[in-house]
């Protein structure tokens, strides 16, 4: 199926934290390979691997030193090939992360002083780094280079034809190895406005900037995707690309999608929405409208490696499961983040000295709490994990949850199994009390975000938590129902 991605469930693997086969405390590709049976049982269609390339890991691998090799901590190219072969044998597709806005400062181009491939200037402008502080760092001869992220992540110069040629070749390298798609990191970056105009404010930048900013979402970025699409299309089997593009409006996002550009863009609105019937309904309506503009089904995300896990963000496991069951009923594809199927919360009390997120040093905000390794067994299943795993997570481990019908893991498995029976691009809202969402998409979905139980009518397919003794839908619970009509 060439457009397999349209309704796919894609499971994001953060390789450092998923599973460790070598026993060195850092997850690896053989670890992922060993868990493919688990992922197949979970019922995912594809995995997206966050970067596993050669890297100093200054930004968890989003600082790439060699785009065509595997970091020894994660394994070898042979391990990668074996992982792809085994995944494909199980019917699981493989998406890899491509990081084209910047390299690592350990990349040979930067090391060898190929300054024309980066953005060097005699004077900095006033741009700020997403990770805090100025976006410019001075080198010994007095020049400055641009880094929208960490100083160890110099921005590439996409006006340089060698940069463009290199990335076309990198895409082919991984396509030749059998990958089914790419997740494009900072897909709204790369091209900067000519002359690098100052923004006239010293305020720090955000990934999502409503203002017109000269470093994001420039028209020229679309030329790059128009160069890339024919490469993807020249391979058999439906190779795809999904953009991590934080742009100001659905109209701007729509420009990334289409037959001559990319297949999908993450819709982060659902992840950013606060918990509640109105807020979810607004964002669903907006997203579905956006999908109509784009002409492609939307994507849904509740957690990833950059944001606090949704158990914590929404305030409880019950709420997280309710939001998940709502998400999985919606048309389009769903991206899951490793560990959400175990109901893992954000780890809030990591000691500062163990935090590795480069943003932490510059802003005091850290993404480490969602990157803690996954517990596989009651004794956690890791030796000296790179971030400590709370001992209480033994009870959240796969071993503890497997076979327990009330567990979050079995809940995800059931939801993904039933989701295969859903189809149709439209959602019909049904009348419902305030704080309750009710919609139909073949099945009827009811979510209660209020404080009192609500009656429901129909045959229960799946509920995100226990129903009331009288069959009513308790607060913070979602149910899938088969109803008469």
Catalytic residues: 185, 244
Least Cβ distance, residue 16 to ligand GLC (angstroms): 12
**What is each CA distance from 31 to 18, 25, 38, in whole angstroms?**
7, 11, 12
Q: Which is nearer to ligand GLC, 244 or 341 (CB)?
A: 244
Q: What DSSP line would sit under 406-471, residue for residue?
A: TSHHHHHHHHHHHHTT---S--EE----TTEEEEEESEEEEEE-SSS-B---SEEEEESSPPPTTS
| Residues 2, 292 contacting (CB under 8 angstroms) | no
Q: What's the CA gap between 208 and 154, in Å, rounded? A: 20
Q: What is the smallest separation between the CB atom of 49 and ligand GLC, expressed in angstroms?
A: 13
Q: Which is nearer to ligand GLC, 365 or 404 (CB)?
A: 365
Helix (H, G, I), strand (E, B) or coil at 441: strand
Judged by beta carbon, residue 28 or residue 368, the one nearer ligand GLC is: 368
**Edge-to-edge strands of the sheet including 443-448?**
428-429, 436-441, 443-448, 477-482, 459-463
Q: Which is nearer to ligand GLC, 35 or 367 (CB)?
A: 367
Question: What's the closest the beta carbon of residue 156 comes to ligand GLC, in angstroms?
Answer: 12
Contacts of 140 (CB under 8 A, 6+ apart): none
Q: What is the nearest approach in angstroms of ligand GLC to the Cβ of residue 79?
A: 23
Q: Report DSSP state, residue 299.
A: E
Binding residues vs ligand GLC (CB under 6 A):
59, 62, 99, 149, 185-186, 244, 305-306
> Cβ 243 to ligand GLC, closest distance in Å?
11
| CB of 7 or CB of 357, closer to ligand GLC | 357
Q: Which residue has the tokens 């002409």?
A: 295
| Smaller CB separation from ligand GLC, 331 or 369 | 369
Q: Residue 150 Cβ, how far from ligand GLC at the closest point, in Å? A: 8
Q: Is 446 helix (H, G, I), strand (E, B) or coil?
A: strand
Helix (H) or strand (E) holding 278: helix 277-294
- In whole angstroms, give the CA distance from residue 380 to residue 393: 7
Is the CB of 244 or the CB of 340 nearer to ligand GLC? 244
Is residue 193 exposed (0-12), middle (13-18) or buried (19+ Cβ within 10 Å)? middle
Residues 6+ apart with CB under 8 A from 215: 127, 135, 148, 189, 192, 193, 205
- Closest contact distance (angstroms) between CB of 369 and ligand GLC is 14
Rank residues 149 and 174 by Cβ distance to ligand GLC and give the closer one: 149
Task: Indicate the SS3 state at residue 65.
Answer: coil
CB of 28 to ligand GLC, least distance (A): 19
Tokens of 88: 């494909």
- CA 136 to centroid of chain Cα atoms: 27
Cβ-based neighbours of 153, under 8 Å, separated by 6 or more: 58, 59, 62, 63, 102, 103, 104, 105, 147
C-alpha closest to that of 381 among 368, 364, 399: 399
Identity of the residue, 131 or 411, whose beta carbon is nearer to ligand GLC in the bound complex: 131
Nearest-approach distance from CB 206 to ligand GLC, in angstroms: 11
- Closest-by-Cβ residue to ligand GLC is 62
Name the 3-class secondary structure at 444: strand
Distance between CA atoms of residues 165 and 65, nearest Å: 17
Alpha-carbon distance 19 to 354, whole Å? 20
Task: State the Cα–Cα distance between residues 342 and 30, nearest whole angstrom.
Answer: 21
As a whole number of angstroms, the distance between CA 191 and CA 414 comes to: 43
């Amino acid at each position: 199926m060439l457009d397999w991605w349209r309704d796919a469930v894609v499971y994001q693997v953060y390789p450092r934290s998923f599973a460790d086969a070598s026993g060195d405390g850092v997850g690896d590709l053989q670890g992922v390979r060993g868990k493919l049976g688990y992922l197949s049982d979970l019922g995912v269609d594809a995995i997206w691997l966050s970067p596993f390339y050669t890297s100093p890991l200054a930004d968890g691998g989003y600082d790439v030193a060699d785009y065509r090799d595997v970091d020894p901590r994660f394994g070898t190219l042979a391990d990668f090939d074996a992982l792809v072969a085994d995944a494909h044998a199980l019917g699981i597709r493989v998406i890899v992360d491509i990081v084209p806005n910047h390299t690592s400062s350990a990349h040979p181009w930067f090391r060898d002083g190929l300054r024309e491939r980066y953005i060097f200037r005699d004077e900095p402008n006033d741009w700020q780094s997403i990770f805090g502080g100025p976006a410019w760092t001075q080198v010994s001869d007095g020049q400055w280079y641009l880094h929208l992220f960490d100083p160890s992540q110099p921005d590439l110069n996409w006006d340089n034809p060698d940069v463009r040629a290199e990335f076309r070749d990198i895409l082919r390298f991984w396509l030749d190895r059998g990958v089914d798609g790419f997740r494009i990191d900072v897909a709204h970056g790369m091209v900067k406005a000519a002359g690098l105009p100052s923004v006239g404010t010293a305020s720090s930048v955000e990934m999502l900037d409503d203002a017109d900013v000269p470093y994001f979402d420039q028209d020229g970025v679309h030329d790059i995707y128009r160069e890339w699409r024919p490469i993807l299309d020249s391979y058999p089997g439906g190779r795809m690309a999904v953009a991590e593009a934080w742009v100001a409006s659905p109209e701007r996002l729509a420009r990334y999608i289409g037959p001559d550009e990319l297949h999908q863009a993450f819709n982060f609105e659902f992840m950013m929405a606060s918990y509640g019937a109105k807020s979810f309904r607004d964002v669903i309506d907006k997203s579905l409208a956006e999908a109509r503009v784009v002409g492609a089904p939307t994507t849904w995300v509740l957690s990833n490696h950059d944001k606090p896990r949704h158990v914590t963000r929404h305030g409880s496991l019950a709420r997280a499961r309710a939001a998940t069951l709502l998400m999985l009923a919606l048309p389009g594809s769903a991206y899951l983040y490793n560990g959400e199927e175990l109901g893992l919360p954000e780890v809030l009390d990591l000691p500062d000295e163990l935090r590795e997120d480069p943003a932490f040093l510059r802003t005091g905000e850290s993404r480490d709490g969602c990157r803690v390794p996954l517990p596989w067994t009651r004794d956690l299943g890791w030796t000296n994990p790179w971030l400590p795993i709370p001992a209480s997570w033994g009870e959240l481990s796969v071993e503890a949850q497997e076979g327990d019908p009330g567990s979050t893991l079995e809940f995800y498995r059931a939801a993904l199994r039933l989701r295969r029976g859903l189809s149709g691009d439209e959602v019909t809202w049904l009348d419902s009390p305030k704080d309750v969402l009710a919609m139909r998409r073949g099945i009827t979905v009811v979510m209660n975000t209020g404080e009192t139980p609500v009656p429901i009518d129909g045959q229960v397919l799946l509920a995100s938590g226990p129903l009331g003794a009288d069959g009513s839908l308790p607060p913070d619970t979602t149910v899938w129902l088969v109803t008469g009509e």
